Amino acid sequence: MKLLVDQNLPRRLSALLQVEGHDALHTEQEGVATAADPLILSWCCMRARLLVTASLPPIERVVLERGNALFSLTPGRPIRAELLPLGLIGPTADNAEPE
């Protein structure tokens, strides 16, 4: 699984994920730490990486607009959100509103 750890989480999280065998990068390593959230999401989609973040408002907007994000909530840990499927831009038959 390829991951990108967002700038609102510590760099050491990507290092810990790497120790556990995950392909994890941090936004600082990739030069996108100060990029706007939509750019970071696009960056992840183009590179087939899941975004690990604690930033709820931008993710909530994606869910409302596209309906294809998954949240992982664990007590004492940051919120994690993933766009599903990776690389998807815009609505699909799977998330279209019923007629």
pLDDT higher at 51 or 95: 51
Measured CA to CA in angstroms, residue 63 lies from 36, 57, 95, 96 at distances of 17, 10, 10, 13
Length of the chain as a residue count: 99
Give 88's pLDDT tier (boundaries 50, 70, 90).
very low
71 contacts 79 by C-beta, under 8 angstroms: yes
Higher pLDDT, 71 or 21: 21
Encode pLDDT of 18-58 as tens digits.
998 999 999 999 999 999 888 888 888 889 888 888 766 76
**Is the overall model pTM greater than 0.85, yes or no?**
no
Assess whether pLDDT exceeds 90 at residue 96. Answer: no
Which residues 6+ apart lie within 8 Å of 59 measured at CB? 53, 69, 71, 79, 81
Helix (H) or strand (E) holding 4: strand 2-5
